[in-house]
Chains A and B, each alone.
Chain A
Amino acid sequence: QVQLVQSGAEVKKPGASVRVSCKASGYTFTKCAIHWVRQAPGQGLEWMGWINPGNGNTRYSQKFQGRVTLTRDTSASTGYMELSSLRSEDTAVFYCARVCFGEPMEYWGQGTLVTVSS
């Protein structure tokens, strides 16, 4: 069965960076994109970007352009999201989700809480 398992909660200081991982299993990792979605406390879902694990191509939301970097390790079937220059407003749960061509986000990771606090 398809599973996406994310790394654990993080606490970071303002100005720092955070890297969240998303390990995929149950399918061929390079066949589908990994998208990342942010959800601030009590707020809605906000798309951040996606990576094609097959060739490493990425696309980012304009809102996060310049601060987010998506990478992948095909040997580990793992995607990574790094967010830099953290501020308190970045406190949120970050989700990864699998998207195969022409499909929506059918499989999601469990979410990773990132808290930014001095």
Chain B
Amino acid sequence: EIVLTQSPGTLSLSPGERATLSCRASQTVSSNYLAWYQQRPDQAPRLLISGASSRATGIPDRFSGSGSGTDFTLTISRLEPEDFAVYYCQQYGSSPCTFGQGTKVEIK
């Protein structure tokens, strides 16, 4: 199975700053089927990005995804207070689908 490694584990930033989250796969992600999710405390995960770079419906344009093959990035251009949460990447191109261990974006 494909192992996804996210870095850093925790990102301490201030509102208005730029956040850059990394997700590295142990093998090529088929068709760039790489998604990013946001999870706030006591809530279900929320889809942000599919296909490595396509924003899901209703997701603000400060969220962007990039990358291909084995290296992917989620960028939040200017952090809003509601963006402080945990972010997971997931590959859904190969079975079984797998998740990264998560990156927590916390207020500095």
Enumerate chain A interface residues (CB-CB to B < 8 A). Answer: 35, 44-47, 59, 61-62, 95, 99, 102-106, 108-111
Contact of B47 with A105 in the complex, beta carbons under 8 Å: yes
* Cβ < 8 Å to A, chain B residues 24-45: 31, 33, 35, 37, 44-45
Give the number of residue pairs across the A-B interface with Cβ within 8 Å: 49
- Interchain nearest-CB distance for B90 vs A (Å): 6
Q: Does B97 contact A (CB under 8 A)?
A: yes
> Please, how many angstroms separate the alpha-carbon atoms of A35 and B37 in the complex?
16
- Known A104-B90, A108-B44, A109-B44; judge A45-B99 contact (CB<8 A): yes
Which residues of the partner chain A approach B45 to less than 8 Å between Cβ atoms? 45, 95, 105, 108
**A-contact 0/1 string along B79-98, CB 8 Å cutoff:** 00000000010101001111
Chain A interface SS verdict (over half): loop
Q: How far is the CB of A117 from chain B (nearest CB, A)?
A: 20
- A61–B33 alpha-carbon span in the complex (Å): 19
Q: Which residue of A lies closest to B91 (CB)?
A: A104
Considering the complex, give the chain A residue whose CB is closest to the CB of B92.
A104
